[in-house]
Amino acid sequence: MSIHISAQKGSIADTVLLPGDPLRAKYIAEHFLQSPQLVSQTRNAFYYTGTYKGKTITVGASGMGCPSIGIYSYELFTEYGAETIIRIGTCGAYTTELQLFDLVNVDQACSESSFAQYAWGIEGTAIPHQGKAFSIINETATSIGQAVKSCNIHSSDIFYRKSMDTPEVAVANHCLAVEMEAFALFANAQHLGKTAASLLTVSDIIPTHERISADQREKSLLPMMELALEASLKL
């Protein structure tokens, strides 16, 4: 067991899907995995391991923000031997180049966060996806006829802010959307030589104030879940 994950050694798969919300992890396990087993529920961060079309996969919660996913992904990589983590979540679009329900396969995560610098001495504001998962997601999307867009995203430590202007780091790095976790996940994977990707559903269009309703949210995230699971078969 690690400090924050109470799973027994050997109960976490090589490939882990990591939504932020524990209830989303529970939903994926119950609706997509065969014989899912709850292997950890410390702090109500649910982790399940089961099989998808014969492949063993773990799905669990990362919580919100770089500090939280930084902890969970590091322990999954180092304490449980996970080789690949795919973050699956939502993002808000800074531009109408993206539309509600679009799937985004993150190329680079850009941030003003000090996480990477102080944790691992990684300088700069941009960290790319790590390893082959990014390409496999794109290839899988093509094979199943699922549209997906690749772009840079802004991993922000701030959800509510005084100014509604797009932050400078997002403008400088041509980020089309914002979320809160991918930067730390990519930093940990880069430092540890692991594979990491982030697949996101656009849930908000910031300049137009459009957003996915609560009633739409469950079904709207299904294409992202299914694509991540199908891609996992090739990892």
70, 76, 116, 155, 181 from 67: Cα distances, Å: 5, 14, 11, 12, 8
> What is the C-alpha to C-alpha distance for residues 231 and 159, in angstroms, rounded to an integer?
30
Cβ within 8 Å of residue 5, ≥6 positions away: 12, 40, 42, 45, 47, 60, 72, 75, 76, 79, 80
Which of 14, 21, 157, 204 is an active site residue?
A: 204
204 catalytic per annotation: yes
Report which residue type is found at 89. G
Tokens linked to 125 = 């504001």
- At CB < 8 A and 24+ separation, what contacts does 156-161 make? 156/111, 156/112, 156/113, 156/180, 157/65, 157/66, 157/111, 157/112, 157/113
> What is the C-alpha to C-alpha distance for residues 5 and 72, in angstroms, rounded to an integer?
8
What is the DSSP-derived secondary structure letter of residue 168? H
The dihedral through the CA atoms of 39, 43, 44, 46 has a sign that is negative
Helix, strand, coil percentages, rounded to 5, for the chain: 35, 30, 35
Active site residues: 204
